[in-house]
Structure 1
Amino acid sequence: MLNRRAFLAGSASLAATGLAAAQPSPAPTTIELASLRGSINAAEYGLAPGTLDDQSHAFSRMLERAAASEAPVFLPPGTYLVSNIKLPPKVRLAGVPGATRILYGGDGYLLMAENAQHIELTGLVLDGANRWIADYAQGLGDFRRVAHLVVDNCQVIGSGSNGLALETVSGRIERSIISGAAEAGLYSVEAGRLQITGNSVLDCANGGILVHRWQAADDFTMVTGNRVERIAARRGGTGPYGNGINVFRADKVIVSANSVADCAFSAIRANSSGDININNNICVRSGETAIYAEFAFQGAVISANTVDGAANGIHVVNYNEGGRLAVVSGNIVRNLLTSGPYPSDPPGFGVGISVEADTTVVGNVVEAAPLYGIMLGWGLYMRNVTATSNVVREVGTGFAVSVVEGSGSAVITDNVVEGAKAGAIVGYRWSDPVTADLARSGGADYRHLTVERNHVS
């Protein structure tokens, strides 16, 4: 046996050769800690991973017993075939990431919790096996009125409905993979300060991450650092489905630092959601408008996003429905198309940035927008808009601004426009161009316009 001096000498020798660095001692994982600190082992309740028998009864009995003593439960690696597991008010269930699989047996639902205090799922694979889920269950994991929910380092795959469905839930969903859901990957309604962070939501049929409310109210959900890819719209429509991140009636939501690609409609769509922040996201190959703030919203900050490939870039619209008050700044929008998932209403697809009321558009770069680079107003629906210090190049029309009688004021100053085929700044009556290039002639004939110091080439 080595004495302490010999051990330290040996360690120093290993460090000198680099072997010590190559063979670090890993810190205990959450799973290991759970298994060490008085957790209940599934084997003690007759659960046998890998058996073809339904183990629902033993599984439920184990959770009830653990809840009574508030002990965590550790599930060894393997597959556990269960259905209709009603979670008790307090559950701490942990497994080995990627190796502990809870497989849905196809009878009703997999996991459901109602009026719970603390539900914590860690290191589990929840596998729906693409089986039918009862109509009364909203997802493979269905959580309703849960004071604190944690889903961490899990996989949720093959749900016949939503992957995870949350109703009036607080807590966090993080570091998890949700894929192959027949509806949305993650559906949250009436949340209370929920965190959705660092997840991958992939290959879902009708939506990625949905943050909804039944009536407009403060929600305070944070959707940050997620990867959302390949979201379809199998239910069809013109926008309710097929969005990577969809915020509906939920106020004061942050959508930041997400990577969203290949969505049938929008990468990020905020409908009737006030005081929303959409910042620092990457949105690639969106089928319709990449980033939307629409309908009855008041207050939107859309900044520092990258949009590459979409039918439209960024729309902040629907002043006719009360949509107003926004900042659109520091975004890159490029490589837009004139086609989308349905026949477009006027003016058509291919618009880089579109705004309507009480909005400033500053410091953006728009490139390769075949219809308009930046669109200010739509007919009568324009009030108090400014467009300053933007770069617009290789577009159809650089700036399309409403000159319909009764429209509000617009300021277009200090922009750079290059390669605008139909004019740098053109006045429109709805979809029809009706002025010469205002960048060259000025807007003196239109008292509601200020057009100054724009550079055109």
Structure 2
Amino acid sequence: MTLYQKSLDNLLVVTQSSSSPGTGWSAVSNLQTAINNARSSAKPLQLLPGVYLTSQILVDTASGGGNRLELFAEQGTVTVRLSAAAPYLLNVNNVPDVVVRGINFDGSNQTINGSGIAGLIRFDGSSTTDFIFSECNVSNSMATGVVAVNNARGRIADNRISNCGIGIFAIDSQVFIENNGLSTLNDNGICVWTSTVGGNGSVVSGNTVNWVDNASGGTGQYGNGILVYRAGNVKISENNVFNTKFSAIRLNAANNGHVVNNYCWNMREVAIFIEAPGAGENLSGGIISGNNIDTAGLGISVANSGLYGDGIADRCVVSNNNIINITNNAIPYPDGSTSLTTGRGITVETNTIVTNNVISLTAGAAIGLGVNDAAKDIMATGNLINNCPMGIAYSTNNSASSILVSSNIVRGYRDISNVSDPNYPISGAIVSYSFDGSSFQRDKNGGSPNTDYGNATQTSSGPLTVGMNRANP
């Protein structure tokens, strides 16, 4: 099959045929040449229906007169397929205002051997501004489906991405990632990263992410629906995330992130994980609100307090979330060991408010306030807890301080007074607990149960101030 192009008044059209389609059509050597011709003539390029086999395509300032590219097809009628191993299928390098829409890009599982964050489709460079990649299908990439790197800025929207290592990866780039459908991904769904901790301002909204594996292993680096690392001021809203090996949404050292109004179902580990992973990689100012979480190993975790080489996650608000069906799940690690999730609904450590959440059917505590000495300035108010064996558990470690529990309703908890009962460690309405290195367990008072403050009048005990709660087993 030979490629032919035809120049119209305001459009360049390309098709492929065994012979000339007729008057005005001229043969062109390959798709790269056709794209260069369209750019040089400052015309949009339309691909007519068919499957176009091609090697790598580069859009840069040294070709096509340095002009922008508009490449499009009638949606679902054109496939551009990579014919051999290459650094990429399409790379836009420092060319502004590029528009690509309506095309199926098939990596045909060829090796993608580009440097850095390798991807089938790449938008690269600080002059790659205002790009739009929309209404396309991207599939069968041994690396990432769509990549934006090196301060590229644009929009990735209304696409379908499947059978890739990672679906979409934006690093050191501000991207609006909206209304995409991603499925069957080896390592992660959508990643927004920056090289250092700082502001970014990307938006991840309205996407559906389904079936994310962690083929590359790790302890949480892979297996996530949406992963934000170091990038601050990122808004994650109205996404549907299903069937992930680790988290639906994971923020590491990502300041001022908004995680709002997402639906998360069937996560093996923590559904929404807000974490300061290491010294110097803190997280501050997160808002986690209005999310619906069903079936996970832990609902929402705001983790780390600057102890043991960790960073500090603080100034967070966890509010108005609906959490149900949280279980103890075994997580296998690369060294052959396994870790069991705690089955808690919400767990926080430092300078965080937990308010107005609805939590039901957890295997562990509905709400955990602090972890031993990592417990400072925490509030749990106005939460509704149903049919959880343990309602609100808090740390009474000597280093714990300023924990307020007020105006909560706890119904259907385990009311156990015999410390020898095997269910005692996970019981009580509002009780203290400790982490023994492998599990969280309700504290004891010698051979007797510790005090349950579920129906206590306003009082203070150690770090705890409690009152105005209602508890019914």
Please, what TM-score do these two structures have when normalized by structure 2?
0.84
Distance 1:48 1:332, change over 3 A: farther
What SS class does the counterpart of residue 40 from structure 2 fall into? Answer: helix
Higher-helix-fraction structure: 1
Aligned mate of 1:382, from 359, 375, 383: 375
Equivalent AA in structure 1 for residue 232 of structure 2: D
1:86 Cα shift?
A: 0.9
1:66 Cα shift?
A: 1.7
Tell me the equivalent position of 2:422: none
Counterparts of 2:371 and 2:322 in 1: how far apart (Å)?
23
1:267 and 1:290 in contact (8 A); partners too: yes
Q: Which moved more, 1:394-403 or 1:111-120?
A: 111-120
Distance 1:37 1:448, change over 3 A: farther
1:169 Cα shift?
A: 1.6
Equivalent AA in structure 2 for residue 142 of structure 1: R
| Aligned counterparts, 1:348-427, within 5 A | 348-421=341-414, 422-427=427-432
Tell me the equivalent position of 1:139: 119
2:67 maps to 1:67: no
Counterparts of 2:32 and 2:465 in 1: how far apart (Å)?
70
Counterparts of 1:93 and 1:68 in 2: how far apart (Å)?
13
Counterparts of 1:310 and 1:407 in 2: how far apart (Å)?
28
Aligned mate of 1:173, from 153, 156, 161: 156
Aligned mate of 1:336, from 326, 329, 336: 326
Q: Which moved more, 1:246-255 or 1:69-78?
A: 69-78
Tell me the equivalent position of 2:4: none
1:147 Cα shift?
A: 1.6
Tell me the equivalent position of 1:309: 295
Distance 1:67 1:401, change over 3 A: same
Tell me the equivalent position of 2:30: 58
Structure 1, residues 254-276: CA drift from partner, whole Å, max 9, x if none? Answer: 00001110011111111110000
Structure 1: any 5+ residue segments left out of the alignment? 1-34, 50-54
What SS class does the counterpart of residue 35 from structure 2 fall into? Answer: helix
Tell me the equivalent position of 2:76: 98
Taking every aligned residue pair, what percent have the same amino acid on both sides?
A: 29
Counterparts of 2:338 and 2:227 in 1: how far apart (Å)?
21
Structure 1, residues 315-349: CA drift from partner, whole Å, max 9, x if none? Answer: 11112211101111110001011113236668x42
Distance 1:36 1:286, change over 3 A: farther
Counterparts of 1:277 and 1:116 in 2: how far apart (Å)?
31
What SS class does the counterpart of residue 250 from structure 2 fall into? Answer: strand
Structure 2: any 5+ residue segments left out of the alignment? 1-6, 22-26, 62-67, 277-281, 415-426, 444-449
Tell me the equivalent position of 1:198: 179
Counterparts of 1:318 and 1:44 in 2: how far apart (Å)?
58
Equivalent AA in structure 2 for residue 177 of structure 1: R
2:292 maps to 1:300: no
Distance 1:175 1:48, change over 3 A: farther
2:120 maps to 1:120: no
Equivalent AA in structure 1 for residue 442 of structure 2: P
Q: Which moved more, 1:85-94 or 1:226-235?
A: 85-94
1:46 Cα shift?
A: 10
CA RMSD of aligned residues (A): 2.2
Counterparts of 2:20 and 2:460 in 1: how far apart (Å)?
82
Please, what TM-score do these two structures have when normalized by structure 1?
0.86
Aligned residues: 415
2:212 and 2:243 in contact (8 A); partners too: yes
Counterparts of 1:56 and 1:264 in 2: how far apart (Å)?
47
Counterparts of 2:224 and 2:20 in 1: how far apart (Å)?
40
Structure 1, residues 147-197: CA drift from partner, whole Å, max 9, x if none? Answer: 22211100001111101111022110111100010x1000110112x2111
1:75 and 1:94 in contact (8 A); partners too: yes
What SS class does the counterpart of residue 316 from structure 1 fall into? Answer: strand
Aligned mate of 1:226, from 201, 207, 211: 207
What SS class does the counterpart of residue 330 from structure 2 fall into? Answer: coil
Distance 1:153 1:323, change over 3 A: same
1:58 Cα shift?
A: 2.1
2:193 maps to 1:207: no
